[in-house]
Chains A and B, each alone.
Chain A
Amino acid sequence: MPEKNDLDDATAPYSGPRAVDPGEPEPRLEDDPDYVTRTRFLSLIALAGGVAMTAAIVVPVVGFAVAPTLEPEPPRWVDVGPLKDFPDGETTSIAVAGPATESDRRVFIRRRDDELIPIWNRCAHLGCPVAYSPGGDVFACPCHGGAYNSRGLVTAGPPARPLDRLDYKIVTPDGKDVALGDAKDEDRLLIGVAYSIDEDEQSFTLRGPGESVTGVLRNLYPSPGA
């Protein structure tokens, strides 16, 4: 006969285990959002390491791609020939080495009335090469119709300022600077750095095509490295 147990007697008092109210759980450190667990610490280390390694690659690469291109053109003097090649009363076109031959820089040497102006052929609108027509004694741009007078000042079309000019000096064969009035035919003409001018022929640091040197629009562009 099986032994009698508590389950058979519904009236017997319960003697089994009882649920205990757990009460408030013990506060854990990792539940505090400000507490740095090991997982969180290692994640941050990995993230910081990844950022550092990526920067170690990207910063030199971008710097190498960008920084050399922003350097301004180094100043220098280019010998373009004896003064007798540029007769008085004429505007003569010559090729001048720019920063490189690929820049295809040409200069008009305008020699009139005891004055010599080297005028750069780069249109002040968008940089097309302007052409000189001796008949009308004017410069005209083939791209967008910019027109300039004999001194390179804008007469019509979109250019924002007159044609840029270049510094020049005249040197005797034994290397002394002379003024234009005292120069002889065999003295050499040297072309230097370019500069921009406004309508009153005041000189400014060289600007890119399309940039104004006067007026409100001048403020749209950073000053060239000066």
Chain B
Amino acid sequence: MATKDIGPKNPVAQTGDMVVDYVDHRTGAKTGLNWFLNRNIPAETGWFQTLGFTALALFGLQAVTGIILAMYYRPDPATAYESIRVITDDLTWGWLVRGMHKWGASAMVVVVFLHMGRVFFFGAYKYPRELTWVTGALLLVMTLFMGLTGYLLVWDQKAYWATVVAVNITASAPVLGPYIADILRAGPEFGPSTLSRFYSIHMLLIPGGMIAFIGIHLFLVSKLGVAEPPWSKRLQMVEREKEEAKRQAARDRLPTGRTRVPVRAPDHPPLRTPAPTDTSESATTPDGGGS
């Protein structure tokens, strides 16, 4: 066939292409990835727009280190602290992986806030990206909740009392607060199932929600494209053209939007034709007034 003449001649590369084409023809994977990754972006896209991926990368770090930590951690009040001690002191590179998970959590909170600040100051949340902002806000809440629930798992004095206070802050919310606090701590006070409940929320419930919302968030980013920064040359040109058109319209005295009532200097005080007088018996007026 004629199409054999184009493309790589290397048989290995040809085989690779065939495999990719085979998969793409049946799944659309290559087309989909192409749609997702190879997008046109504004000319001025720069380092500021990398914060979102940084947050995603940190989520990946937390997921990977968390999965491995779960292989050694025991979510039981009697053994949790000791298992953390073993991870930190005894196991090879346990201190490293636990350290990555702990500091990665703080880094993720920081980066998520920086990402939100970037979106806010660029005005990137505006039409049509409002729902991207909403899903991002939910992801922020879930990130913070991951930090809260993960904090207790260490089960040392600081973790314990900090979480007691955090749950009691939740309880002080009006009306629903006490119920939510009871659900969180599995009873009126901390008990044997509080730790496993936090563990389940921390490693199953919230991550599931986060993965779902990260998917929606990324789909929307891909669908709507990257927003232009406020200093975008194209954006400035559009603004300038708008401004220019407005001024031109003003010059042409065409009303644009709200029209101004022109301010006029007062004329000479009016003086109309003279009134009839007695002195002349045949007073005539040029415009026939009074007749």
Contact = CB atoms under 8 A, between A and B. Distances in A.
Interface of A: 65-66, 68-73, 98-105, 126-129, 143, 208-211, 220-222, 224
8 contacts: A69-B185, A72-B188, A73-B189, A99-B191, A102-B191, A102-B194, A104-B190, A221-B177
Contacts, number: 80
Interface string B189-233: 111101100000000000000000000000000000000000000
Interface string B141-169: 00000000000000000001100110111
Interface of B: 77, 160-161, 164-165, 167-169, 171-172, 174-175, 177-179, 181-183, 185-192, 194-195
A26 B171 CA distance: 66
B174 A100 contact: no
Task: Tell me if B's interface is mostly helix, strand, loop or mixed.
Answer: helix
Contacts of B190: 100, 102-104
Given A69-B186, A99-B187, A102-B194, A127 B178 contact: no
B177 A100 contact: no
A209 B190 CA distance: 13
A74 to B, nearest CB: 10
Contacts of A100: 187, 189-192
Nearest to A217: B174
Given A127-B167, A210-B168, 18 more contacts: A66-B183, A69-B183, A69-B186, A69-B187, A70-B182, A71-B187, A99-B188, A100-B187, A126-B165, A127-B164, A127-B168, A128-B161, A208-B168, A208-B181, A209-B168, A210-B171, A210-B172, A220-B174
Contacts of B194: 102
Contacts of A65: 183
A208 B179 CA distance: 11
A126 B174 contact: no
Contacts of A68: 186-187
A70 B77 CA distance: 21
B165 A143 contact: yes
Contacts of B160: 104
B75 to A, nearest CB: 13
Nearest to A125: B168
B165 A128 contact: yes
Contacts of A102: 77, 190-192, 194-195
Contacts of B165: 126-128, 143
